[in-house]
């Protein structure tokens, strides 16, 4: 049982993470070199794909599909640890670049949250407002 509704706030977060990753990669290439820029690209890709998988797993867990998505979430975490260890041990990328790339995730989420409207601006329920709180008019 999967849900296919698109979440605009989550899509905004994905775009912000991608944008921050690109900006950090260009900055790393200019100041630290190509190996650091490759590390930023790899770190931002790893963390962004991790968020995509985690969001899909949580969405499906909340919809009622328990076992397979819970196993995916555990496997994803273990795979990220092993992949990060292997990348750092192989010395394919600069460690600072990888750390900057992974940092694109919280920075992107923070920047995306700056532009998400408050619940009352998006038609949410607030105390004291709306049709439910209005007194009916009395006609005698």
Could you report the per-residue pLDDT of 1-23, keeping only the tens digit for each? 344 456 887 888 899 999 999 99
Residue the block writes with tokens 């770190």: 43
> Is there a domain that residue 122 lies in?
no
pLDDT of residue 67 exceeding 60, the answer is yes
Angle at 122 between CA 118 and CA 126, to 5 degrees: 75
- Short-list 87, 133, 104, 130, CA closest to 40: 104
> Is there a domain that residue 54 lies in?
yes
Helix/strand/coil percentages in the chain, nearest 5: 70, 0, 30
Q: What is the mean pLDDT of residues 62-80?
A: 81
Per-residue pLDDT band for 114 (boundaries 50, 70, 90) equals confident
Per-residue pLDDT band for 131 (boundaries 50, 70, 90) equals low
SS (H, E, C) 8-76: HHHHHHHHHHHHHHHHHHHHHHHHCCHHHHHHHHHHHHHHHHHHHHHHHHHHHHHHCCCHHHHHHHHHH
pTM for this entry: 0.72
**Model confidence over 86-97: pLDDT tens digits?**
999 998 889 999
Compute φ and ψ for 87, nearest 5 degrees: -65, -40
> Is there a domain that residue 136 lies in?
no
Q: What is the mean pLDDT of residues 77-105?
A: 91
> Is there a domain that residue 40 lies in?
yes
pLDDT of residue 1: 39
> Is there a domain that residue 104 lies in?
yes
> Is there a domain that residue 129 lies in?
no
> Is there a domain that residue 133 lies in?
no
Number of domains in the chain: 1
**Contact of 47 with 100, CB cutoff 8 Å:** no
pLDDT of residue 45 exceeding 60, the answer is yes
Residues of the domain holding 39 = 8-113
* DSSP 8-state code for residue 126: -
> Is there a domain that residue 25 lies in?
yes
């Amino acid at each position: 049982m999967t849900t296919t509704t698109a979440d605009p706030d989550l899509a905004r977060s994905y775009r912000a993470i991608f944008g921050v990753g690109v900006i950090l990669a260009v900055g790393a290439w200019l100041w630290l070199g190509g190996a650091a820029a490759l590390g930023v690209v790899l770190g931002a890709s790893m963390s962004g794909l991790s968020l995509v998988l985690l969001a899909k797993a949580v969405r499906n867990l909340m919809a009622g599909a328990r076992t397979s998505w819970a196993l995916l979430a555990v496997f994803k975490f273990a795979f990220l640890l092993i992949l990060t260890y292997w990348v750092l041990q192989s010395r394919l990328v600069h460690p600072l670049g990888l750390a900057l790339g992974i940092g694109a995730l919280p920075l992107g989420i923070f920047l995306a949250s700056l532009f998400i409207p408050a619940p009352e601006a998006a038609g949410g329920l607030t105390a004291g407002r709306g049709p439910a709180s209005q007194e009916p008019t009395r006609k005698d």
